[in-house]
Amino acid sequence: MSVDPVKASTAKVERQTPERKTHADDPLRGAVSGPAPKAEIVKTEINPATHVIPEHEVTVELDTPTDNIVVYKVLDKKSGSLVLQVPSAEAIRGIHHTQELLQQIAARGRTATPEEPAAPITKGKGNSDGSKL
């Protein structure tokens, strides 16, 4: 099977733009005989909406002076109500609870008396390299 090269054509193709059609009056109007009912034209006033977007105030503060937890609060300017808080109140409570638990664990380690070891010592066979089997 062989393919012959495509011959270059110099013929120009002209595209005609479609003619615009002019419409007479509404065809339904012309079809109805007799007087056409009059339509009422009602003018409405357009009043621009004022303050469509709510206005908010953003505050940045520390949860407590000892904790370095930065709290972002978004407040509604009109009512002063809280719109959004990051981190949430639940997350802050969780952070405080975790800090209390860590302090309790640290306090246990400090209260060990010299007679009682702070951590249990495990005894077992040891090799000369320090590993236990």
Per-domain boundaries in the chain = 54-112
Sign of CA dihedral 57, 60, 65, 69: positive
At 42-101, the pLDDT tens digits run 777 777 766 567 789 999 999 887 878 899 999 999 898 999 999 999 999 999 999 999
Backbone phi and psi for residue 59, each to the nearest 5 degrees, phi listed first? -120, 145
Confidence (pTM)? 0.42
Q: What sign does the dihedral 101-106-110-114 (CA atoms) show?
A: positive
Distances (CA, A) of 56 to 76, 77, 79, 86: 5, 5, 10, 15
